Amino acid sequence: MVMTFAVMTGVWCALGFYLVHHSVLSKRIQRHGHQVLPFVLIVLGVYILAEGFL
């Protein structure tokens, strides 16, 4: 269980590093990220809460 968490955390960190340092994607993330991120986090939170109650 702990090993799975550590590996998946590493995968997510590597993916985030790649997205931020990719030349085409980084410009789009910097331009629209502050507008999109709150909605993504709200949807993710609602999804997690809904799964917890069902």
pLDDT digits 0-9 by tens, 1-52:
789 999 999 999 999 899 889 888 888 888 888 999 999 999 999 999 999 8
Q: Does this model's pTM top 0.75?
A: no
Domain locations along the chain: 2-53
* Amino acid 15: pLDDT: 94
Do 19 and 26 touch, CB atoms closer than 8 A? yes
* Amino acid 2: pLDDT: 85
DSSP letters, the chain, are -HHHHHHHHHHHHHHHHHHHHSHHHHHHHHHHHHHHHHHHHHHHHHHHHHHHH-
